Chains A and B, each alone.
Chain A
Amino acid sequence: MTTGETKTPVETATSRGAMSTATPVQVPEENTPEPPKAEAEHGRVGAGVFDPKQLWKSLPDACRKLDPRVMVKSPVMFVVEIGSVLTTAMAIARPSDWFGWAITAWLWLTVVFANLAEAVAEGRGKAQADTLRKAKTDTVARRLNGDAEEQVPGTELRIGDLVVCEAGDIIPGDGDVVEGVASVDESAITGESAPVIRESGGDRCAVTGGTKVLSDRIVIKITTKPGETFIDRMINLVEGAARQKTPNEIALNILLASLTIVFLLAVVTLQPFAIYAKAEQSMIVLVALLVCLIPTTIGALLSAIGIAGMDRLVQRNVLAMSGRAVEAAGDVSTLLLDKTGTITYGNRQAAEFVPVRGATAAEVADAAQLSSLADETPEGRSVVVLAKEKFGLRERHEGELAHAEWVPFTAQTRMSGVDIEQDAVARKVRKGATGSVVAWVKERGGSVPDDAQRLTDEISQAGGTPLLVAVEDAHGARVLGVIHLKDVVKHGMRERFDELRRMGIKTVMITGDNPLTARAIAEEAGVDDFLAEATPEDKMALIKREQAGGKLVAMTGDGTNDAPALAQADVGVAMNTGTSAAKEAGNMVDLDSNPTKLIEIVEIGKQLLITRGALTTFSIANDVAKYFAIIPAMFAVAYPGLNKLNIMALHSPQSAILSAIIFNALIIIALVPLALRGVQYRPMSADKMLRRNLAIYGVGGLIAPFIGIKLIDLLITLIPGIG
């Protein structure tokens, strides 16, 4: 994977990080150490909250969905609706038959419950959409026409228009800053209140319609048509209006439809057999049998599962532009992870004080700390922190030391230090780049021991950066030791990558570092592979290579030059801080711009598929018990021997059939929280996962209805007039 020849890192994560530290306003970006989320959530997909009140609130929506034109999209539930209409007609024809009315009522409830599941799932996105709509108030744009400015409604902007925004203006549409720099409040979209910097050129030029300029003046070139802006798409997405069935959902629907047809045949052909057996069945009983057999549980919950999957992403501030991408996330077998911000904290930190012969580590630490007090770079701060952690050296403040002359770090000297006089002894300490410190020591007539060279070489070879520490005192000038700076891998990443490996996912670290450094960090982090000195072309080639082997690839990116790779990847997550080209190319946008989230996205994709499979298995397994309830109820009169199949000892034929129908309806409502939340998911091997889910949803699906139907039957018999 390491490319032998040297390639110019056109744009690497590190160079981006360095550039942005210069910006005055605090920007939430990959350079700031992330709170170690990996530990907090540790690969678990958290549960979405489900409030039973939502059921009640969504009831009107559920009833509206009874429209056959809507129902026909779910073939299984459409059959139930037709059945309900039939039994209603039968019940009206024989109004005195309580059984017919009871079955009819519960059949309608089955349909309503199914719609309710979908409505609740959709309802959870609606609240989010309302907030977004507020941001999308009708704005007036200041369009540039030559040099003149004209006021036009935001909806009339076309691609290529130039608009001006000043402090306090709402940005009228998506676009790129072509002139100026401004701080922008994007909280309407990201929920993050800290303002971000947007400037012309580079990777921070994209602005989103509906966000607010807080300072300065910028000129924006509009890049999207009205009605297709980011915020419009977000509203559509979270509301589920733009929801299309995903490929796997379509496939599952085909299977469910064919099972429905099989059971329809089994029930329709049963009547001639029954007549021969002198046990002709009423239409109501046949419809009841059919509804019990067809996979209503999964049929009812299928679309809710899909919507909830998208919703779980939205809750994590990730917008999937298509459900297909969420599904693909579950299939991903190669993850391309940017080193900086994802695997490491992104800046080099002091990791060790190594003394030369004749000195001790404590001495090195003391001198290093002293010489770093005037160094405000992150590297300098990390030396002070390490000295305190390892040697208990309290941070000394500049005023504390008398007669101290501080030498701050500059790019020219590449050294920092201090000259102090303590107890009438002059002492000068320095730390800095190897060459500078060696020159400083030699200038003062000191010597550089051989092992100093050896130590610095070793550290360089291990991918670290060495800083020399030197001192000049009564004993003359000499090198004390070396500070080992290195890129620090985030806590818990190794465990996370181990988990991914168990799930069959290969991780590839992408970095602009040289192969040596990259290898060291790759080994420490435990990734499977790395791509060093990576250019966008390298990334693209890597993705294509993996895909040619039949693998699905996921990656994150934010730069314009990431766009082709983002488009090529099966799951391309664009950072919201990125350019509009990147956002356009990816099929997901992470509003938090947190590259670690890629791992969670994969887990959510898997969880979505598992939930579908588990509920399908459960639904089919349920049928066994329903047969044991209904078949004896239908035919024990003609063939009393069949009563032996009534192993649940249900009270009467009517109570048996009714119990099965009630169970069938109630199980839908009972499983709504599971469908919305998703089944519990832990990273483990496919074998273990299958064993576990088969035990819970397969075997559980066989047993649960026996208990459920029996209990409902016991309750029914308590109703006067039936028991």
Chain B
Amino acid sequence: MSPILADVLQVTALIVALALVYRPLGDYMAAVFTSKKHLRVERWIYKSIGANPDAEMRWTAYLRGVLAFSAVSVLFLYLLQRVQNHLPLSLGFAAVSPAQAFNTAMSFVTNTNWQSYSGETTMSHVTQTAGLAVQNFVSAAVGIAVAIALVRGFARSRTGDLGNFWADLVRCVVRILLPISFVAAIVLVACGAIQDFGTWHNISTLAGGQQAMPVGGVASQEAIKELGTNGGGFFNANSAHPFENPNAFTNLFEIFLILAIPFSLTRTFGKMVGSIKQGYAILAAMGIIWLVFVIFMSWSEFAHPGAAMHAAGGAMEGKEQRFGVGASSLFATSTTLTSTGAVDSFHSSFTAYGGGIALLGMMLGEIAPGGTGSGLYGMLIMAIIAVFIAGLMVGRTPEYLGKKISGREIKFAACYILITPALALIFTAIAMALPTPIHSAANPGPHGFSEVLYAYTSAANNNGSAFAGLNANTDWYNISIGICVALGRFLPMVFVLALAGSLGEQRPIPASAGTLRTEKPLFAGLLVGTVIIVTGLTYFPALALGPLAEGLSS
């Protein structure tokens, strides 16, 4: 079988699998967030944190919940890393340095999971399991909760109530993320991923050398790492490591886990706003972008332009033999379009265009299909922008899902789309202007620039993948990226929740023949165009000096 045919079959299998879970998972999530009942374990949790899960929250209260919970999480995670050497199962690792602990805490709480450390040699079992893995669950749940609050803003009318943050958070973890992760972890263990809390094994290699084999709760962490679009690997090599991602099947399975919730949330959205078709339109826009990116990425990697790669006979540098070009391209596209940031190959070693596509995938704002929750709300914001312009062209003041898009709504949406480009570009510019940060780049010329641009684009968009080659464990990068991820996560959430509050208070406008039909293919196409043009225009100069300059020179 030719590699290209294998690639096509893999993509097809993936799409079929996603299509199969789309309906049940989407409907299930809608049921979870609209149900009135509480499970016993949930009641117990509410009681222990002193929350009333039935109290409706206005957007400000909801936001306070998000921020308070995240602040406590950051503090806890920071402290845990700083004292890990005094805790059991420390494996003899020292406390993590303050800058790196700050960076890691910010990064995991914001669902970014940028790692300036190497997991197997830095983090103890307790830090990995009680700290990082817990954040893998709850940070994903926070994203979903905020998305659900926005959906409620569309679905409800004449009320400022957006639901209860604590109930959304707990239900998401207990009823959605935990059960699926549990099953997924078992599948991964069955396929060869490791799961134990012992000490490192010392083994003798065939060549007669001695090697220390790291151990840990890898499979369980791997499952939620992908499912929650986190991306922070147990090992430094992330999903390229055979203990995390043993074979071609687990590779495809992990991609499936990455995409399952973000795509299915469009069904949840359609269900909750009372029009499945509206969900399909958003799904179509996400799906088209994802597929086009997969095709371009695979084409670029299979074609492997450049003398060196031609001499080598393929763009295999930085890729695992057991996955090959096709599966690596598929993983790279999916991870950068979803704010996951897990990698099974090294994006820095991709062809210039391939690296550029990974970069552009993040620049789109992680919305195709994007991170858990954040992808949906990001795409809905883009839909509002698209509706605003297109709505005028049908001769009415714009409305989306029966809600008017007036000055207030457009202000929040405009602020949202302003934040990540501002963070990515300003931090990159500062890094380039300062004398030292550029020394972290392993390469000169446009590739070196791409490494820095990639780091801050990844941070601002909460992706977390790195253009390997940049030494990010310096105080400058640890702290600046820590700040960047926090602003890139929580500022947009402020505007999303404010928007949700403003939408919820409106009374719905009935649709008529004169209303822009946002459930039609034309609108899905328009949405794709808006995403590409608005973000593309913002980043074009930067891309021209990085991947484009590199790619066009060959």
Contacts and interface: CB of A to CB of B under 8 A. Distances in A.
Given A277-B545, A685-B513, A687-B517, A265 B421 contact: yes
A192 B405 CA distance: 42
B512 A504 contact: yes
A549 B510 CA distance: 7
Interface stretch (A387-395, A455-463, A471-479, A605-613): A605-613
A494 interface: no
Contacts of B551: 641
Interface in A546-605: 549-551, 605
Contact of B428 (A269, A502, A549): A269
B425 A269 contact: yes
B516 A250 contact: no
Given A262-B418, A613-B392, A690-B390, A255 B410 contact: yes
B425 A266 contact: yes
Interface in A683-698: 685-687, 689-691, 693-694, 697-698
Interface SS, A side: helix
Given A273-B542, A623-B537, A247 B429 contact: no
A507 to B, nearest CB: 12
Interface in A455-499: none
Contacts of B390: 613, 617, 690, 694
Contacts of B520: 687
Contact of B426 (A250, A269, A627): A269
Contacts of B508: 550
Nearest to A333: B512
A108 interface: no
A274 B438 CA distance: 14
B288 interface: no
Contacts of B449: 273, 276-277
A267 B541 contact: yes
Interface in A402-430: none
Interface string B427-461: 01110110000100000001001000000000000
A16 B170 CA distance: 68
A631 B392 CA distance: 31
Interface string A622-644: 01100100010001001111101
A343 B223 CA distance: 69
How many A residues touch the partner, as a band? Answer: 35 or more
Nearest to B512: A504
A691 B430 CA distance: 43
Interface in A233-270: 247-248, 250-252, 254-255, 257-259, 261-263, 265-270
B396 A606 contact: yes
A273 B428 contact: yes
A254 B514 contact: no
Contact of B542 (A252, A266, A641, A685): A266
A270 B389 CA distance: 28
Nearest to A631: B544
Contacts of A635: 544-545, 549
A693 to B, nearest CB: 4
A247 B545 contact: no
A638 B529 CA distance: 31
A330 B397 contact: yes
Contact of B397 (A247, A550, A614, A623): A247
A623 to B, nearest CB: 5
A340 to B, nearest CB: 27
A645 interface: yes
A273 B432 contact: yes
B183 interface: no
A551 B515 CA distance: 12
Contacts of A621: 533
Contacts of A266: 421, 425, 537-542
Contacts of B430: 272
Contacts of A627: 537, 540-541
B279 interface: no
A690 B394 contact: yes
Contacts of A609: 392, 395-397
A718 interface: no
23 contacts: A251-B407, A255-B388, A258-B414, A262-B421, A265-B425, A266-B421, A266-B539, A273-B545, A275-B433, A277-B549, A503-B395, A503-B514, A506-B512, A551-B509, A613-B393, A617-B389, A627-B540, A641-B549, A642-B549, A645-B552, A686-B514, A689-B394, A694-B393
Interface of A: 247-248, 250-252, 254-255, 257-259, 261-263, 265-277, 289, 293, 327, 330-331, 333, 501-506, 549-551, 605-607, 609-610, 612-614, 616-617, 620-621, 623-624, 627, 631, 635, 638-642, 644-645, 681, 685-687, 689-691, 693-694, 697-698
Interface of B: 385, 388-398, 402, 405-407, 409-411, 414-415, 417-418, 421-422, 425-426, 428-430, 432-433, 438, 446, 449, 507-510, 512-517, 520, 522, 526, 529, 533-534, 537-542, 544-545, 548-554
Q: Which 10 A-B pairs have the closest CB atoms?
A: A613-B392, A504-B514, A504-B512, A606-B395, A641-B552, A258-B414, A641-B553, A504-B513, A269-B429, A613-B393
